[in-house]
Amino acid sequence: MRSLVVEGRSGRYRRTEQVRQAGVAVASCLMKSKLRNLMRQFWREWILPMGLLLIVVSPLKSAVLDWNWVPSGSMKPTIVEGDLVMVNKLAYDLKVPFTTTHLATWAHPARGDIAVFFSPQDGTRLVKRVVGLPGDTIELKNEVLYINGQAQRYAPLDPAPFMSDIFEDPTPNVAMEQLADRAHYVMALPHRGAMRSFGPVVVGEGKYFMLGDSRDNSYDSRYFGAVDRQAIVGRASYVLVSFDTSRYLWPRMRRFISPLERPGI
């Protein structure tokens, strides 16, 4: 009798254990099925669209329209730290995406353009102003730019409207430089050691001489030489957004969607 009771209990235990194991197996299958469905849904609704978007946008960003964060003040007061500038890569030519190989060329950088290019020294992407064209003689005499022996004209300006973004010098000199038929802001920092005289040098064939608008705070063609046409990415035309890097990235709303070349200057 005791043997029958033990066997009965053992049988019930085995059946209970089998039921438990079957339940675990069913739950595991359901969990795996649910995870597979979630992965399929994630792939279909997120990964695939993002991948397709990347496939479409990346070549456009590389060859048509791009943007460039500006980390330094070398183009003040025209461009300031924290500006995100729009770069028109079709301004001069069409390139093979992700390369500097030209497929077609319809224009060349003009004097006064704000160009984005790769530094001939280390390949860093820079934003500067085109001041010298192929064949030009460029000279700087005590902050005055000479092109082919002719001094450019300057009109001094009150620096007060620009002072919220200028901290390199307590008494900056801001002026309007008439560069051929185009006028733009330039700035000098009298209390800062800088290369205020340079040249004369002749710009080589197929090359362009670049200067920063903040002439005493710019690493430009005075140091690394003229820039090859092939290294020029495009022309900067607008500030898309701007965040003040000296004030905890506070938005500069006045600079949002603002042209770099304003009519009347």
Which residues form the catalytic set?
74, 128
Distances from the Cα of 113 to the Cα of 34, 69, 92, 100, 108, angstroms: 58, 18, 11, 19, 10
CB proximity list for 42: less than 8 A, separation 6 or greater: none
CB proximity list for 103: less than 8 A, separation 6 or greater: 93, 94, 95, 96
Contact between 255 and 245 under an 8 Å Cβ cutoff? The reply is no
CA–CA distance, 128 with 75 (Å, rounded to integer): 7
How many CA atoms lie within 13 Å of 238's alpha carbon, on the beta-carbon side? 12
